[in-house]
C-alpha cells in the first residue's frame, strides 16, 4: 500500500523553506516540536513528518492535550487497568501504546499538567510507560509535540519541565504565519473556493474579482489558513453562483443589530449619579511605596496578565500590548519575568 504525505499548498519562500526543513528532519528517529500560531497547519506538518519517516506504515496517533482534564489525559495517554479507579471496569490501552512502532502527535502540549509531563519525560527518555494501576511497559514511539505557546518562556517560569523541553526539542519546526506568505493567499483561496463549489454541487466557480483578491491580500489573518478557509467558504456559499465573487465575508458576526459586548446598565444605575472617586482612592494606591514603585508594580502586573492571556507566547503578547518583540523582552527582563541571559566569561 502506497501512502502519500498530506498535500500542503504554497510556493512562498518561507513556506518552501519549512517544507524542506520537514523533509530533512522526518527520517530521523528523534522527537520534534512543531511551533506555530493557531491555524497554521501544525497537525498537517506532524502528519507529514510521520509519513516521510521510516514509520510511515505504522500508527499515527493524535491526542489534543487541551481537550481533557489532567486525570482523563493521564488515562488517555497511558491507559489504565480494570479497577484502577471508579468506573474503570476493564483495561484500557493508552494512546502511547496504540502508537507503538509509529508516531504520537501531542497537540497543545504546553497545557499538559506537571504530573503528565513527568510521565511523558520517562516515555520519551526511556521508552517506558506505566498504566494507571498497572505495571511498567516498554514502547517504541516517536513523539511530535505542537503548540502556539512560547515553551522556553514557560520553562523559565517553571510552568513547563525544562528537561522534557530539552528532550522534545531535538529539532523545532516553526511554521510561518499566513501574513508572512502573502503570495500563497490567492492559490489557497482558489483551492478552498473550488472545494466549496464541489460541496454545493455547483457546475463551476466564476473566480474572484480584483477587489475581492485585494481584500484577501490586505487582511492580516490572525487565524491564518484556517481563518482564510472559513472566510472563503462562507463567502462562496453566500455569493451568486454565476457571478465572480466580489464580497468577502471576513466577520460573520458583522451586523447592524449586533449586541454590544458591554453589559447593559440597569435603568436605576443609569439615572443615579456615581460618587466621584478622590485621587487618594485611585487604583494606584493598591500598591505600596511611592509613585515610581506604583508605576513599576502596575507595569509588571500588566505584563503578567498579558502573558497569561496569550499563553506565554511572547510575540503574541508584544502585538497585544502594541510593543515590539525586543521591547517586550527588555521589559520582561527588567521586571524579572524571564531570567537574564547568562554572562559570558
Tell the burial category of 345 from Cβ atoms under 10 Å away from its Cβ (0-12, 13-18, 19+).
exposed
295 has pLDDT over 80: no
What is the mean pLDDT of the segment spanning 290-311?
76
**Cell numbers of 345, please?**
566569561
**In terms of Cα–Cα distance, which of 77, 79, 83, 61 is closest to 111?**
77
First-to-last CA distance in the chain?
A: 57
For 134-176, how does the pLDDT look when each residue is reduced to its tens digit (9 = 90+)?
Answer: 778 899 999 999 999 999 999 999 999 999 999 999 999 999 9
Confidence of residue 291 (pLDDT cuts 50, 70, 90): low
Confidence of residue 66 (pLDDT cuts 50, 70, 90): very high
Does pLDDT of 341 surpass 70? no
> Residue 149, Cα to own-chain centre: how many angstroms?
7
For 86, 158, 182, 301, 306, the CA distances from 338, given in Å and listed in that order, are 42, 10, 33, 14, 14
Taking CA atoms, 67 is separated from 64, 70, 101, 297, in Å, by 6, 10, 25, 35
Q: How confident is residue 203, by pLDDT bands cut at 50, 70 and 90? A: very high
pLDDT at 275: 46
Higher pLDDT, 3 or 23: 23
Cell readout for 322 is 502594541
Lowest-pLDDT range of 6-15, 88-97, 228-237: 88-97
pLDDT digits (tens, 9 = 90+) for 220-244: 999 999 999 999 999 999 999 999 9
Give the confidence band of 83 by pLDDT, cuts at 50, 70, 90: low
Mean predicted confidence (pLDDT) in 317-334: 78
- 143 is written with which cell numbers? 513523539
Question: How many Å separate Cα 276 from the centre of its chain?
Answer: 44
Give me the torsion for CA of 224, 229, 230, 232, rounded to 10°. 120
Structure confidence at residue 296 as a pLDDT band (50, 70, 90): confident
Q: What's the mean pLDDT in 80-104?
A: 80
Q: What is the pLDDT of residues 245-290, one digit of tens each?
A: 999 999 999 888 888 655 544 444 444 444 444 444 444 444 455 6
Q: Give the pLDDT score at 289.
A: 55
Amino acid at each position: 500500500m502506497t501512502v502519500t504525505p498530506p498535500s500542503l499548498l504554497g510556493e512562498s519562500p518561507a513556506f518552501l523553506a519549512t517544507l524542506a526543513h520537514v523533509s530533512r528532519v522526518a527520517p530521523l528517529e528523534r522527537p520534534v516540536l512543531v511551533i506555530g500560531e493557531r491555524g497554521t497547519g501544525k497537525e498537517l506538518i506532524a502528519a507529514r513528518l510521520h509519513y516521510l519517516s521510516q514509520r510511515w506504515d505504522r500508527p499515527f496517533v493524535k491526542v489534543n492535550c487541551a481537550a481533557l482534564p489532567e486525570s482523563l489525559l493521564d488515562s488517555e495517554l497511558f491507559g489504565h487497568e480494570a479497577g484502577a479507579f471508579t468506573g474503570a471496569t476493564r483495561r484500557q490501552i493508552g494512546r502511547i501504546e496504540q502508537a507503538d512502532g509509529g508516531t504520537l502527535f501531542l497537540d497543545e502540549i504546553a497545557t499538559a499538567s506537571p504530573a503528565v509531563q513527568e510521565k511523558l519525560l520517562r516515555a520519551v527518555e526511556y521508552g517506558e510507560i506505566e498504566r494507571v494501576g498497572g505495571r511498567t511497559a516498554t514502547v517504541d514511539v516517536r513523539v511530535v509535540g505542537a503548540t502556539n505557546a512560547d515553551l522556553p518562556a514557560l520553562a523559565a517560569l517553571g510552568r513547563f519541565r525544562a528537561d522534557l523541553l530539552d528532550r522534545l526539542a531535538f529539532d523545532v519546526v516553526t511554521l510561518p504565519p499566513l501574513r508572512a506568505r502573502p503570495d500563497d493567499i490567492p492559490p489557497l483561496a482558489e483551492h478552498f473556493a473550488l472545494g466549496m463549489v464541489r460541496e454545493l454541487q455547483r457546475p463551476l466557480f466564476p473566480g474572484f474579482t480584483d477587489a475581492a483578491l485585494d481584500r484577501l491580500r490586505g487582511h492580516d489573518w490572525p487565524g491564518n489558513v484556517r481563518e482564510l478557509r472559513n472566510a472563503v467558504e462562507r463567502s462562496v456559499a453566500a455569493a451568486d453562483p454565476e457571478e465572480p465573487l466580489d464580497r468577502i465575508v471576513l466577520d460573520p458576526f458583522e451586523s447592524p443589530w449586533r449586541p454590544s459586548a458591554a453589559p447593559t446598565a440597569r435603568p436605576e444605575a443609569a439615572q443615579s449619579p456615581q460618587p466621584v472617586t478622590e485621587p487618594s482612592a485611585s487604583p494606584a494606591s493598591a500598591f505600596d511605596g511611592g509613585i515610581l514603585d506604583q508605576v513599576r508594580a502596575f507595569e509588571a502586573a500588566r505584563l503578567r496578565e498579558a502573558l497569561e492571556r496569550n499563553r506565554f507566547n511572547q510575540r503574541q503578547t508584544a502585538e497585544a500590548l502594541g510593543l515590539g518583540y525586543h521591547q517586550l523582552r527588555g521589559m520582561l527582563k527588567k521586571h524579572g519575568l524571564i531570567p537574564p541571559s547568562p554572562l559570558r566569561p
